[in-house]
Homo-oligomer: A and B are copies of this chain.
């Protein structure tokens, strides 16, 4: 996603969303209520004060997420009806993220200053908009409307993940390092990770990108052909134990392992281990507070620079996004996703074969985030959703333990700048054959 921790945008979602398999499985009105309710459930363990914190410009307060996702429906759905009166014209500015086309916006780094509207007012705003949406959806048959609503729900799901990663960073910044929720990362003995193997990937011309029914963002389209060269892809992500070996081997002290920009960040920020690891390399901060580091679980909260340096150290490389998608396309969308409630990566279960392509951690790829050939952003304001961020970011794939299951798919392209570490991001190795 973008610096703004904001993104998405549908390509022709009007027609596509109508036939979305998961969305289509239930009436849109019901899906609307369930997704909106899920956001509230994620905010529930937090008080009004927790929901105020903005710990860095890249992150947003939880209250802002609650309001912004509501604004999205107000701005792009309800205000299509000229008779609709927004809750407060000033709020249209406060909760606009980055849509220059619809009007001015409150400066992103100052979102944490908004004590007003209060959490209560924002929750009331949600109810007010939900009521209006309910009325609209009661007799909906308009596919354009359905497409916009589905877009709004996918957008809301993105912010569900961001709400979690942003609050994780916020709580970690507090010297008391409080837990988000005790339930998170509950466990039992962690399973042992299966040994990593390299599995031959598909070779030659392959099609990647989204096509057909079901929702997708515009940046996943059009589906197109790519040449895949002979390669193998790792059966599972890199674990904490494996990454620890890199740290112990002086990985953070050897410039030869790093991209030049990455080495500059390592020096400036004094990086010595992944974000949230403790300096003793034995514990890590999780949404359940500080816990012992599980050596078998996928390593997490890496920047692109760290993922890339590790791969170089390991004599391997990151997969391209096309390689990743070609391998993932055949796999069922299941794994340690948001619904598991664990909110932390877990070791791969006993199964063999390709594992953990979905859930646990987003996987950095070797692909810069650029447009697919023939890409067309949506006309109008929603065209700002994805396309304008195609500079200086890298693609991540597969979703994490904080991604809703109905939000992820093989063609999904997440993106972040190379120094971003606060997402649940790790890596899987690949190699040339």
Q: Chain A residues in contact with chain B, CB under 8 A?
A: 2-4, 47-50, 52-53, 55, 63, 90, 93-94, 98, 100-101, 106, 110, 112-119, 170-171, 173-176, 178, 205, 224-227, 229, 255-256, 258-263, 304-305, 366-368, 370, 373-374, 383-384, 388-392, 418, 432
Asked whether A93 and B205 contact (CB < 8 A) given A100-B255, A260-B2, A368-B370, the answer is: no
- Across the two chains, which residue of chain B brings its CB closest to A370? B368
State the CA gap A52–B258 with chains docked (Å).
32
Contact of A391 among B113, B262, B367, B383 (CB under 8 A): B262
Asked whether A110 and B418 contact (CB < 8 A) given A227-B205, A259-B388, the answer is: no
Asked whether A227 and B225 contact (CB < 8 A) given A256-B100, A391-B418, the answer is: yes
Show 29 A/B contacts (Cβ-Cβ < 8 Å), sorted by A: A2-B260, A3-B260, A47-B115, A47-B118, A49-B49, A49-B52, A49-B63, A49-B115, A55-B113, A90-B176, A93-B175, A98-B260, A100-B263, A106-B175, A115-B170, A115-B171, A116-B174, A225-B227, A226-B227, A227-B227, A229-B373, A229-B374, A256-B384, A304-B391, A305-B391, A366-B370, A368-B370, A374-B432, A392-B418
A280 → B minimal CB distance (Å): 19
State the CA gap A432–B260 with chains docked (Å).
35
A67 → B minimal CB distance (Å): 13
- Across the two chains, which residue of chain B brings its CB closest to A120? B47
Q: Note all chain B residues with C-beta closer than 8 A to A118.
A: 47, 49
- Across the two chains, which residue of chain B brings its CB closest to A261? B391
A260–B389 CB distance below 8 A: yes
A174 → B minimal CB distance (Å): 6
Q: Which 4 A-B pairs have the closest CB atoms?
A: A368-B368, A49-B115, A100-B255, A50-B115
State the CA gap A48–B117 with chains docked (Å).
12
B226–A258 CB distance below 8 A: no
- Across the two chains, which residue of chain B brings its CB closest to A390? B259
State the CA gap A305–B384 with chains docked (Å).
16
- Across the two chains, which residue of chain B brings its CB closest to A106? B175
State the CA gap A178–B114 with chains docked (Å).
11
State the CA gap A112–B112 with chains docked (Å).
9
A34 → B minimal CB distance (Å): 28
B119–A49 CB distance below 8 A: yes
Q: Note all chain B residues with C-beta closer than 8 A to A256.
A: 100-101, 383-384
A385 → B minimal CB distance (Å): 11
A47–B50 CB distance below 8 A: no
B174–A115 CB distance below 8 A: yes
Q: Note all chain B residues with C-beta closer than 8 A to A259.
A: 388-391
A8 → B minimal CB distance (Å): 14
A121 → B minimal CB distance (Å): 10
State the CA gap A390–B114 with chains docked (Å).
35
- Across the two chains, which residue of chain B brings its CB closest to A113? B173
Asked whether A116 and B178 contact (CB < 8 A) given A370-B368, A392-B418, the answer is: yes
Q: Note all chain B residues with C-beta closer than 8 A to A3.
A: 260
State the CA gap A66–B176 with chains docked (Å).
18
State the CA gap A418–B389 with chains docked (Å).
13
Q: Note all chain B residues with C-beta closer than 8 A to A304.
A: 391
A2, A173, A260, A390: most-surrounded residue (chain B CB, <10 A):
A260
